[in-house]
């Protein structure tokens, strides 16, 4: 749940009144709502100097959280594309260099039951870790209704548990079985640790366990939603998103929503912490929603998604910032939505989700590009 929900709400607003936004491209004959070609770099906005040789990978539905295999050859991702015969998010994998998903369906490696999220390759690239609600029922769990006052919320399904599966969809190990939400698992680049988010303490906190599921250690302990964590390239730090309710009203609202399996993700900032839980510190102080962080290959910067410059709430772009919060740089420029960035392990490529080139639909697709420093 790192989560497709934010862009679904943004896209709903988009469809109400912003489907005809135009923006300058490398090719001045192209528009956000109707690109006429997809040659190399025609999908890159003029200001996106860090992207080169961009390629669109998916062509319909909500596609998100694409993460590289350790050998940088495959991507695992989640999608709800109805033409792939799924009712809600399921896990797929692809070869981004050779697979043609415009004309074919990727291999689904989740069970097809319940709802899934946050898949990540395990060391060796023959198994993967992901969260699923299938033990709570075969059907997709219900989406939360809009609550009074119009508050936008994410569901925190208490039937999510974390599993390891082979690349044929066969579950070979269940890593969590505590009551409540266990999800958002990612693996250290060294392949020895797993970080995940859980409500087992009564709040949404980060935990680290060994790669076999043993030695679970709680890392965060402040009131608020701590999630979407990733390891630094050297495996010594975590970057994550967090909400920190402060006023009595904010605290009461947060606790009430969480008691009903919900969180409100409209105010989040980026934090870092050592893997032993020490030196936790806030990196951004931008306001609005700052989320989907990932370490730059140098380990000295963080790339993330934010709507802090937006005027309508749903305009998410990628930004990069130093670990001390300085040097904020605007990376991507889509007029609607860019998020879920991940660098390949060798630092040569970046994959992300975007609403560019969706022909005015609600589709959010995956894109991969060479990374240019």
CA–chain centroid gap for 311, Å, is: 22
pLDDT score recorded for residue 14:
31
Q: What is the pLDDT of residues 53-62, one digit of tens each?
A: 999 999 999 9
pLDDT score recorded for residue 20:
27
Q: Whole-angstrom Cα distance, residue 254 to residue 247?
A: 10
Own/partner long-range contacts of 211-217 (Cβ < 8 Å, ≥24 apart): 211/122, 211/123, 211/187, 213/173, 213/175, 213/176, 217/277
Average pLDDT estimate for 220-248: 98
In a domain, 207, yes or no: yes
Map residue 299 onto helix, strand or coil: coil
- CA 77 to each of CA 62, 129, 216, 277: distance values in angstroms, whole numbers, following the listed order: 11, 11, 26, 29
Count structural domains, the chain: 1
Residue 135 DSSP symbol = G
CB 51 within 8 A of CB 44: yes
pLDDT band at residue 113 under the 50/70/90 scheme: very high
Q: What is the domain extent for residue 169?
A: 61-327
The enclosing domain of 244 has a CATH number of 2.120.10.30
Is the predicted pLDDT of residue 371 greater than 80, yes or no? yes
Residue 84 DSSP symbol = G
pLDDT score recorded for residue 6:
44
In a domain, 34, yes or no: no
32 or 350, greater pLDDT: 350
Q: What mean pLDDT, rounded, does the chain reach? A: 90
In a domain, 33, yes or no: no
CB 336 within 8 A of CB 14: yes
pLDDT band at residue 149 under the 50/70/90 scheme: low
Residue 85 DSSP symbol = S
In a domain, 165, yes or no: yes
In a domain, 204, yes or no: yes
In a domain, 54, yes or no: no
CB 303 within 8 A of CB 331: yes
Q: What is the pLDDT of residues 176-225, one digit of tens each?
A: 999 999 999 999 999 999 999 999 999 999 999 999 999 999 999 999 99
Percent of the chain with pLDDT over 70: 88
146 or 351, greater pLDDT: 351
Is the predicted pLDDT of residue 22 greater than 80, yes or no? no
CB 90 within 8 A of CB 107: no
pLDDT score recorded for residue 148:
64
Q: What is the pLDDT of residues 271-330, one digit of tens each?
A: 999 999 999 999 999 999 999 999 999 999 999 999 999 887 779 999 999 999 999 999
pLDDT score recorded for residue 145:
80
In a domain, 75, yes or no: yes
Closest listed residue to residue 368, CA positions, set 56, 47, 75, 45? 56
Work out the number of other CB atoms within 10 angstroms of the CB of residue 270.
26
Map residue 362 onto helix, strand or coil: coil
Is the predicted pLDDT of residue 27 greater than 70, yes or no? no
pLDDT score recorded for residue 152:
85
Token pair 């991940």 is at which residue?
342
pLDDT score recorded for residue 147:
67
Percent of the chain with pLDDT over 90: 84
In a domain, 345, yes or no: no
Work out the number of other CB atoms within 10 angstroms of the CB of residue 151.
12
């Amino acid at each position: 749940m790192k989560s497709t929900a934010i862009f679904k709400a943004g896209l709903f607003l988009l469809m109400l009144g912003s489907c005809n936004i135009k923006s300058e491209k490398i090719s001045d004959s192209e528009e956000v709502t109707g690109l006429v070609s997809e040659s190399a770099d025609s999908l890159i906005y003029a200001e996106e100097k860090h992207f080169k040789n961009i390629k669109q990978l998916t062509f319909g539905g909500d596609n998100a959280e694409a993460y590289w295999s350790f050998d940088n050859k495959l991507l695992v991702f989640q999608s709800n594309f109805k033409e792939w015969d799924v009712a809600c998010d399921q896990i797929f994998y692809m070869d981004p260099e050779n697979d043609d998903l415009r004309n074919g369906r990727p291999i689904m490696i989740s069970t097809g039951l319940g709802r899934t999220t946050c898949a990540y390759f395990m060391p060796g690239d023959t198994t993967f870790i992901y969260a699923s609600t299938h033990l709570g029922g075969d059907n997709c769990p219900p989406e939360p209704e809009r609550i009074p006052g119009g508050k936008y919320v994410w569901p925190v399904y208490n039937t999510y548990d974390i599993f390891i599966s082979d690349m044929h969809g066969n579950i070979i190990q269940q890593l969590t079985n505590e009551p409540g939400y266990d999800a958002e698992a990612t693996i250290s680049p060294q392949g020895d640790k797993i970080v995940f988010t859980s409500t087992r303490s009564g709040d949404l906190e980060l935990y680290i366990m060994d790669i076999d599921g043993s030695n679970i250690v709680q890392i965060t302990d402040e009131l608020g939603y701590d999630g979407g964590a990733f390891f630094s390239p050297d495996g010594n730090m975590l970057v994550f998103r967090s909400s920190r309710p402060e006023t009595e009203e904010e605290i009461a609202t947060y606790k009430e929503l969480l008691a009903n399996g919900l969180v409100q993700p409209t105010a989040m900032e980026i934090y870092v912490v050592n893997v032993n839980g020490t030196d936790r510190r806030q990196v951004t102080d931008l306001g609005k929603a700052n989320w989907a962080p990932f370490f730059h290959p140098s380990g000295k910067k963080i790339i993330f998604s934010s709507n802090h410059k937006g005027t309508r709430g749903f305009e998410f772009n990628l930004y990069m910032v130093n670990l001390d919060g300085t040097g904020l740089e605007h990376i991507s420029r889509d007029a609607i939505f860019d998020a879920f960035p991940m660098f390949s392990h060798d630092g040569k490529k970046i994959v992300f989700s975007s609403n560019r080139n969706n022909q005015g639909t609600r589709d959010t697709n995956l894109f991969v590009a060479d990374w240019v420093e």
